[in-house]
Amino acid sequence: MVAFLDSLTIRKMTIEDVDDIYEVEKRSFAVPWTKDSFYYELEQNLFSNYMVAEIGGKIVGYCGLWVIMEDAQITNIAVLPEYRGKKIGETLLTFAKQLAFELSAERLSLEVRVSNYIAQSLYKKLGFSPGGIRKNYYTDNSEDALVMWVNLK
């Protein structure tokens, strides 16, 4: 799976990418996942599918997807701050939706901070609709998460 948007490439994440992914993670989230979390996802979680976005060989973003039977879940999606606003997140999420569909998922969901209107706008653009609230979901500040869904079939 490869896409080109100017010099953007989307490809499957490998173990060798973990250090770079961890840098994206730390610069994107108040409570980042650990490197061990990514190693687990890549080496042991049979339901996980992760992809990276590269420009000129530099990893600038990533997206994680779990597919369990007919349900798919975006685990994380992040783009380095200096590369945001260039449709990289949109491209990653579009690829994740397509992969979920190809893996026979019927629905795709994700959680987003209720205050993150920029991300919510992107998700709505790609067909996601609000489906509920997870109270106190985020551990850094107890912010609620908006659960958003899209039907794939």
Partner residues linked to 149 by β-bridges: 109, 129
Q: Out of 25, 41, 54, 111, which one is annotated catalytic?
A: 111
Measured CA distances, 132 to 115, 120, 129, 147, 149 (Å): 14, 13, 10, 5, 9
Catalytic site residue 111? yes
Find the Cα–Cα–Cα–Cα dihedral 78, 83, 86, 87, rounded to 10°: -20
Q: Out of 123, 137, 138, 143, which one is annotated catalytic?
A: 123
Active site residues: 111, 123
